[in-house]
Structure 1
Amino acid sequence: MSDVTTTPEAPETEVQTAKPLAWPLGLAGVVLVIAGSFLSWSYDGTILGDLSINLYPGSLQILTIIVALLALVLLLAEKGPLTKLGGWLDATLGLRALGIWLTLYMVLVLVAIATESDGLINVNPGGYISLVGAALILVSSRMLPLRQLRDMSEARLPGWFEILSIAVLMAAALFVAAFALGLQDAWSFVLCLVFIAAVVAGLFRTGSMTWVGHAAQRNKKVLTLSAFVVAFLFPFTQGGSDANMSIATQVLVFSATAMGLNIVVGLAGLLDLGYIAFLGSGAYVAATLSNSAFATIGWKPPFLVVVLVGACVAALAGLIIGSPTLRVSGDYLAIVTLGFGEIFRFSMFNLDGNNGPNLTNGPNGIPGIPDLELFGFNFGDEHNVAGIDLGRFSNYYFLLLILIGGVILVFSRLNNSRIGRGWVAIREDEKAAEAMGVNVFGLKLLAFAVGAFLAGLAGTVKAHQDGAVSPDQYIFLESAFLLAAIVLGGMGTIAGVLLGATILKLLPEKLRFFSEYRLLLFGLLLVLMMRFRPEGLVANRRRLLEFHEEDEALAEAVEAEHLEAEEQLVVEEAK
């Protein structure tokens, strides 16, 4: 690998001096964390995956060792053989992030042991040693100086190294996802989340993710291919577990639906609080046209026809609700769409043969929907591939993966098209867009129709995967979760919506330990996001500028400098 090269030199700034004990304290902290992880943490071997064996680290102890090794790399970049790398990485900020999260991790470990057993008396010395080590790393990071470093976006490495880095990150994401889903204990899952937060925070604070982001932009095709390869390989890491694959399929259905809503909310800026009705429209079409004994329509077309019919019915519902209501905006539009969602649900209740025609069997819904069978492949059968058993949910997972690939393709093409630019213009300033000749009403109606079409596609597959549909599945809370996934992940982005949908579908399933407090934790998460990262976990540049005043000031300053330079150029040309 060639050395990192760049055109501009690092800016000359006043370098603060580190306190003499900072570096030794950090090294001592790393040694204590690793040494403590090789010792027993808990007297009770039945909790947290058995942390009671000396010299044989459990899975949670291995995660601690990984964070400690990352801290060691940053210490060596600050003062040691990796100082050349330290000229690029913000080692101090990265070390602070690792110190904070590692200390929190160890505190939660002690709390978990005390909660699951009979108190702190069951915590063995190894746990306290690792906690002291984490605290020393945190103290050391506060004693190290902050330096102004080079811009990581200017770093250039060979193309093969960038591609290899993307592949390694994707493989690490696959491993972490498989490991996290395999954790049955709620406390172990929470600690795994803290570990992920520690690593991600450390990478962001060092500036490494800035380089990764630019490398990904330079290798978009490789990144996309790697993401789909990782997603395709995921079922092979679950050992035929139907429980985990059921969660995975729910995540994909939720993601595909959220991607459709992202067109309405993220691109066009229209607040829709009844979007779950479009998913329900597709699901009910698939159910009534299925071979279920409770289906009320005699026509049984092939599933590929059902998919198109369900999507078109959902799009038609979008046009019906959009035509009379899209001339209002803001809170009024939100109220109207909320009402539409409730009208859909009550309509499904009333189409029972008593209050209206018998189409949906009323509150009983349509159960007994058979599994799909396409081209002789039965999605309900178990299949063995490369010696690995793939169950029913794995089969639907692959189908949904193809579906969401198509949804992402449609979204990205529309986003980068003239229509997408029109939607963004409407979102930013509807009056200005209309004054510039944008067909505001037509584009709003198109956003509703396309978003509903994509939700209807997901609904047709969901009906067969669930095996039943009923009105209770399509309540307002589901629409709220869809909207929250977009806000949490990042409005108008693809990766952000996928990440937000994954978080909001995965966490409630894995945190059943907290019972009724799950919604409280969810609300707290949204409040924290609105306070510290209102643009979402994965935000585009426009929203970053919208939500950060200092960036806006910087953008205005840069624009002023450009205008001044242009004026000087005009004056010189005139002379």
Structure 2
Amino acid sequence: MTTQTTAPDAADVPAAAAPKGLIGLSEPVARTLATAGGVVSILSTFMSWTWTSEFPGDLTVYGYPGGLQILVLIGGLLTTLFCLASYGVKGLGWLTPAGADAAIKFAALATFATAWYTVIAISDELGGVVNLDPGGYVVAAGSLAALVGALALPFQQPEPDPIDPEDGSWDQFKHRAGHRWETVKAAFSGGSARPVPKLPDYLEILIIVAVLAIGLTVFTYGIGTQYDELFIGFLITAGLGFAAVNKAGLISQASQITARHKNITTCGAFIAAAMFPFTQTDDQYATLGVYILIFATVALGLNIVVGLAGLLDLGYVAFLGVGAYAAALVSGSPSSPFHVHWPFWAAALVGAAASLTFGVLIGAPTLRLRGDYLAIVTLGFGEIFRITANNLDGTSGPDITNGSNGISSIPNLNILGFDFGAQHTILGFTIGRFANYFFLMLIITAIVVLVFRRSGDSRIGRAWVAIREDETAALAMGINGFRVKLIAFAVGASLAGLAGTVQAHVTYTVTPEQYLFAGPIPPNSAFLLAAVVLGGMGTISGPLIGASLLFLIPNKLQFLGDYQLFAFGVALILLMRFRPEGMIPNRRRQLEFHEDAEAPTVLSKAGA
């Protein structure tokens, strides 16, 4: 493995021309300082950080990291490994296919931020720095040294184009075209223009399994954090650690491998998700899991409307409510005026059909509008649905929805003798009520993913993308814009209604207050739209990941009280500032938000 160089050699380049970092240290000293700081941070996690176990996580044990120490250990390992890879250590070159320096900066920042947050939290909660043991001082100094060394590493400037812009010869044109295409490939691959060499299939499948296992571990750890300080540290480490891995080029490498095995990756992702309830000792966190799946499934349905067809729908949560109310009315609730108890498959069809019908009825007179006008109309529909459901109480209107009290006491599902409200033992694991609904919702999610994927790759899916990019041009090419948009509206509404049928049984009660435009807890229209935009419009995994984060983070930040939404809003602003294309963007949107990349003349499957 050859040594990775990050700056010109000092003997060949004048000192004034050598790239500099934020701190005036030479590159060898900076790299050594960052490496030593990472190693010291690792060693400090095996020391005691405080003398009392009153601080959550019991950081008093020598030789055994616990609580926030584990997160600092992970950050220190990333920093050290990236530093060693930058030295050209044999066997570590694969860690930094896009270069090590930027990855070192983010990894060192993750270590520093988590370590100093812990030290400050200990001092604040226990009454001063006197409550720190030697390990607390060591981790503070080590993480600070790693950050100083990382910031002193030189910044890489783009190499200037050696071609004379006034030269119009054919050779110079070919050189420019090749240079620009390399830039485009770099933008597609997250900073590395080098494609991943084709490995044997079994090795690539093992890499996919490893990636999915890491994803399941991170999600399980985040959802299972038992105290507030640990969750904040998890957010710091996970966010900056993801940025470090992305800057190193590992995310790009994994994306290219998974793209070559889409079916295996999709099946593996659902198998990994199905393993989640077996990682829990009780039903506490399976509750969050099933709600996350409901929220994510509805967000994926909205992605058809917003991400593929480009229709801004601000009242989409109403379709979730229509499906939930329709299923609740025919599922045996004593509050239902119909007094019928249909099987789940029939209730699910009723919920999906009711939402589809409302989607067509609302879309038919309004989809001839565009842009802001369409958004205002859909927002009005969402509010009309909520107010109507609140008034159908037998006093202001017919007695159908029981007004603000809603449809209550919805019985648990019983499918083929399997009672979803009872505990079951599977492979020696006890599966509770919410875990049962988690598996059912996972099947619903798989159906929605299949519909989205098949629709996006079909002729109608390409018509949606054409309407989204330029409706006038699409109409000129013979696409029936109204019909295409109405199909998108109807499909998205029916998928939301399908998820609503499960939500009605999970929550036992369906009330109008569950379907607001905006509120502190999702699902609501504002959070659904944010999940699609932040996750990545037009993709499958983007809204699923975005919805998971947007549901999990507010639930875990409830200890902030009145400052919860403020902190959440700041996090969204930062994400949009530094990654406006979303967490999992498609290739076209990635080019739109990066000015240094020039798009090729033709983009195949631009909506992929």
Q: Give the TM-score of the pair, scaled to structure 2.
A: 0.86
Change (3 A) 1:260 1:425: same
Change (3 A) 1:310 1:109: same
**What corresponds to 1:37 in structure 2?**
45
Q: Deviations along 1:449-489, whole A, 9 cap, x unmatched?
A: 10000000000111011101111111111111111111111
Query: Which shows bigger deviation, 80-89 or 518-527?
Result: 80-89
**What corresponds to 1:297 in structure 2?**
338
Asked if 1:247 corresponds to 2:288, the answer is yes
Q: 2:472 aligns with which of 419, 425, 431?
A: 431
CA contact (8 A) 2:68 2:118 kept: no
Asked if 1:127 corresponds to 2:136, the answer is yes
Asked if 1:103 corresponds to 2:149, the answer is no
**What corresponds to 2:444 in structure 1?**
403
Q: 1:159 Cα shift?
A: 2.7
Distance 1:521 1:145 in 2: 33
Letter paired with 2:381: F
CA contact (8 A) 1:30 1:137 kept: yes
Letter paired with 1:77: A
**What corresponds to 1:525 in structure 2?**
571
Distance 2:485 2:88 in 1: 58
Distance 1:36 1:13 in 2: 32
Asked if 1:192 corresponds to 2:201, the answer is no
Matches within 5 A, 1:65-214: 65-82=73-90, 84-85=93-94, 88-145=97-154, 151-214=193-256
Q: Deviations along 1:219-269, whole A, 9 cap, x unmatched?
A: 212211221111010000011x22211111110110111111111111111
Asked if 1:336 corresponds to 2:377, the answer is yes
Asked if 1:440 corresponds to 2:448, the answer is no
Across the two proteins, how many residue pairs are aligned to each other?
A: 548
Query: Which shows bigger deviation, 53-62 or 383-392?
Result: 53-62
**What corresponds to 2:272 in structure 1?**
230
Moved beyond 6 Å, runs of 4+:
10-13, 147-150
Distance 2:573 2:87 in 1: 39
Consecutive unaligned residues of structure 2, counting only runs of 5 or more, are 11-17, 19-25, 159-190, 519-523, 603-608
CA contact (8 A) 2:52 2:60 kept: yes
CA contact (8 A) 2:331 2:343 kept: no
Distance 2:528 2:544 in 1: 11
Q: 1:307 Cα shift?
A: 0.6
Q: 1:512 aligns with which of 547, 550, 558?
A: 558
Distance 2:96 2:313 in 1: 48
**What corresponds to 2:71 in structure 1?**
63
Q: 1:84 Cα shift?
A: 4.9
Asked if 1:47 corresponds to 2:55, the answer is yes
**What corresponds to 2:595 in structure 1?**
549
Distance 1:536 1:80 in 2: 33
CA contact (8 A) 2:119 2:140 kept: no
Q: 1:559 Cα shift?
A: 4.8
Change (3 A) 1:84 1:313: closer
CA contact (8 A) 2:539 2:585 kept: yes
Asked if 1:471 corresponds to 2:517, the answer is no
Distance 2:448 2:106 in 1: 36
Distance 1:287 1:422 in 2: 36
Query: Which shows bigger deviation, 439-448 or 115-124?
Result: 115-124
Change (3 A) 1:428 1:67: same
| 3-state SS of paired residue (1:277) | helix
CA contact (8 A) 2:408 2:508 kept: yes
Asked if 1:221 corresponds to 2:263, the answer is yes
Distance 1:30 1:12 in 2: 19
CA contact (8 A) 2:7 2:154 kept: no
Change (3 A) 1:44 1:152: farther
| 3-state SS of paired residue (1:296) | coil
CA contact (8 A) 1:323 1:445 kept: yes
Q: Deviations along 1:305-362, whole A, 9 cap, x unmatched?
A: 1111110110110111111111111111111111111110111111111222111111
**What corresponds to 1:569 in structure 2?**
none
| 3-state SS of paired residue (2:208) | helix
Consecutive unaligned residues of structure 1, counting only runs of 5 or more, are 5-9, 561-575
Q: Deviations along 1:506-562, whole A, 9 cap, x unmatched?
A: 0111111111212112221222223221111110010011122221xx33xx659xx
Q: 1:125 Cα shift?
A: 2.4
**What corresponds to 1:568 in structure 2?**
none
Q: 1:325 aligns with which of 355, 366, 388?
A: 366
| 3-state SS of paired residue (1:21) | helix
Query: Which shows bigger deviation, 526-535 or 18-27?
Result: 18-27
Letter paired with 2:412: D
Query: What do you get for the CA RMSD once the two structures are aligned?
Result: 2.2
**What corresponds to 1:452 in structure 2?**
493
Q: Give the TM-score of the pair, scaled to structure 1.
A: 0.91
Change (3 A) 1:86 1:512: closer
| 3-state SS of paired residue (2:341) | coil
| 3-state SS of paired residue (2:425) | strand
CA contact (8 A) 1:155 1:211 kept: no
Distance 1:505 1:487 in 2: 15
Distance 1:348 1:540 in 2: 38
Distance 1:502 1:535 in 2: 18
CA contact (8 A) 2:332 2:342 kept: no
CA contact (8 A) 1:88 1:151 kept: no
Distance 1:375 1:190 in 2: 43
Higher helix share goes to which structure?
Answer: 1
Distance 2:395 2:601 in 1: 67
Query: Which shows bigger deviation, 160-169 or 144-153?
Result: 144-153
Letter paired with 1:48: P
Distance 2:365 2:119 in 1: 58
